Amino acid sequence: MTHGLRASTGFGRRVLFACAVLAGLLQPAAAAEKTLRAVVHADLKVIDPTWTTIYITNRYGYLVYDTLFAYDSKFQAKPQMVDTWTVSPDNLTYTFTLRPGLVFHDGQKVTSADCVASLKRWMAKVSAGQVLAKFVGSLDIVDKDTFKLVLKEPFALVIDTLGSPLTAFMMPERIASKPVNEQITESVGSGPFRMVKEEWRPGNKVVFARHTGYVPRKEPADYLSGGKIAKLDRVEWLYIPDANTTLSALMAGEIDYFEAPPLDFIRLLKDNPDLTVLNIDNLGVQGLIRPNSLNPPFNNFKARQALFYLIDQPEFMQAVAGDDSLYMQFCGAYFLCHSANETEIGAVRKPDYAKAAAMLKEGGYAGEKLVVLMPTDRPQYAAATTVLIAALRKAGVAVDIQSADWSTISVRRARKDPVDKGGWNLFITTQGGPDTANPITNGWFNSRCEAANNGWACDPELEALVGKWMREADAGKRHTMIDAIQARAYESVPYVPFGQFFQPIAFRKNVTGVLETAVPVYWNIDKK
């Protein structure tokens, strides 16, 4: 693939093709207007960040909304929308006062009622919020700028949970109060950018404009915390499924920013003097196989355990990354290698297809076709899915490959139907950053049955172990409890990690201020 790109004739054809594709997407910016044109990894179809875990919606959330707290580069929660807060002597009552100057995109002032409604929505739907909800007795409005959270029992991780990257986005009360299973279709936040909905072209383009009413914090930007200064007038998200087209457009200067370049392009990108390649997530990305615990055979833990014996991590990582400097040779940790919660307990290091076949049979597999969801527009996911399919066949499994773009798969995977009525058995996805490294905020680790992510992992015993962990106030003691949590996870199998790698981004040299935040964000970015 890259050899063709190096050839001048082939590259020229790709540049012309890229320009033709982009001609339908790009419009001249107004005079002196700073516009960043970024190609993102997926088409934005859902604009409710509490309704789905897909990354493109979460990244939309960070553009449009603001949060009460946010992690800094040391993974410590810092106040964001909150000005001051206090904790009662019995550690049960947290009182929060909002900082002045917070205004929604529709001009309305942010109030404590908005925050309470947003938190309630988040606690009903999102994994980290569900954990906090177990401890909350009440959320009460004190006045227009102040609210209090009253716990039923002490929980030392209140502020850490509110600061995690999967925290609640604050939205107007009238929107946040809608039924949690009803998708929000309005885009009204108080963040540094606002969505220009009239320019939204699903399948092609999303436009964000600087929120002129946003008042950033005075502290310097640090990871997801600090001053969110919007230096750009516009951010244009472009969705171009063909990576070669995007690469050519980036090299030709037709776009400014490539959010998720295929990893086999990275060396080529680094060799280009007009481009910067930056790894914004030092913890890395975890690849994972998600079984559907509702449908046979993976409603049986033996069949789920069999998946571990299909995994040859170097083979998966070669398919996903290619360049061995971009991945770890092996990582058996559910909570990421090189994190504070790393452990190798229970890890299966080498594949054993005969053992996998025997365990699948023991788990109830009788030769029926298993539906594997194959993304057509995510090269890394498609590569890993191809390796998974080959491994399943080595274990004697019949496979029904269902192909679709990633946004369509993200909708389909939410269906709980039987396989013969449009359901599914397996799909591949990724997660990364500090959320993955924590049993509370690792969304795919959530094993709360109907309240779990798509796939509906269900293990009360595992949840009980996590419950003991999060009730322990001593960080040192919590660390020693991780082994037991992971050992149980290797028995119940909420998902199967297949490796840990790094996903750099690439942008033109005239783009500055890109932050190392794990999640791509667009504040602090400038363009010369």
Q: Are 55 and 68 in contact (CB under 8 A)?
A: no
Which CATH number applies to 69-176? 3.90.76.10
Cβ neighbour number for residue 204 with a 10 Å cutoff: 14
- For residue range 86-126, list pLDDT tens digits in order: 999 999 999 999 999 999 999 999 999 999 999 999 999 88
The DSSP element (H or E) to which 118 belongs, if any, is helix 112-125
Least confident interval from 119-128, 365-374, 455-464: 119-128
Q: What is the C-alpha separation between 193 and 191, in angstroms, rounded?
A: 6
Helix, strand and coil percent figures for the chain, each rounded to 5:
35, 20, 45
Count of all residues that appear for the chain in the document: 528
Q: Are 48 and 183 in contact (CB under 8 A)?
A: yes
Take residue 398 and report the two structure tokens written for it. Answer: 């019949």
Q: Is pLDDT above 90 for 31?
A: no
pLDDT at residue 99, as a whole number? 98
Q: What is the C-alpha separation between 185 and 166, in angstroms, rounded?
A: 20
Cβ neighbour number for residue 256 with a 10 Å cutoff: 21
Backbone angles phi, psi at 400, to 5 degrees: -110, 105
What are the residue ranges of CATH 3.40.190.10 in the chain?
2-50+183-281+504-527
Which CATH architecture best describes the domain 2-50+183-281+504-527? 3-Layer(aba) Sandwich (3.40)
What does the CA dihedral 378, 381, 382, 386 come to, rounded to 10 degrees?
Answer: 180
What does DSSP assign to residue 184? Answer: P
| CA 51 to mean position of chain CA atoms | 13
- For residue range 428-455, list pLDDT tens digits in order: 999 998 989 999 889 899 999 998 999 9
Q: Tell me, what amino acid is at 424? A: W
Percent of the chain with pLDDT over 90: 83
Peptide bond preceding 179 in cis form (omega within 30 of 0): no
Q: Tell me, what amino acid is at 455? A: G
- pTM for the whole structure: 0.81
Using CA atoms, how far residue 72 sits from 77, 126, 193, 260, 517, in Å, is: 6, 21, 21, 23, 9
| Among 31, 58, 35, residue whose Cα is nearest residue 47 | 58
Q: Is pLDDT above 80 for 219?
A: yes
CA dihedral over 4, 10, 12, 18, signed as positive or negative: negative
Which DSSP string do the residues of 235-269 spell out, in sequence order? EEEE----HHHHHHHHHHTS-SEESS--GGGHHHH
pLDDT at residue 30, as a whole number? 55
pLDDT at residue 33, as a whole number? 87
Q: Please, is 257 exposed, middle or buried when counting C-beta atoms within 10 Å of its C-beta (0-12, 13-18, 19+)?
A: buried
Q: What is the C-alpha separation between 53 and 443, in angstroms, rounded?
A: 8
Look over the chain and give the mean of its residue pLDDT values, rounded to a whole number.
92
pLDDT at residue 10, as a whole number? 44
| Among 368, 341, 355, residue whose Cα is nearest residue 311 | 355
- For residue range 240-281, list pLDDT tens digits in order: 989 899 999 999 999 999 999 989 889 999 999 999 999 999
Q: Is pLDDT above 70 for 23?
A: no
pLDDT at residue 3, as a whole number? 35
What are the residue ranges of CATH 3.90.76.10 in the chain?
69-176
Superfamily of domain 285-501: Dipeptide-binding Protein; Domain 3 (3.10.105.10)
What are the residue ranges of CATH 3.10.105.10 in the chain?
285-501
Q: Are 83 and 99 in contact (CB under 8 A)?
A: yes
Radius of gyration of the chain (CA): 23
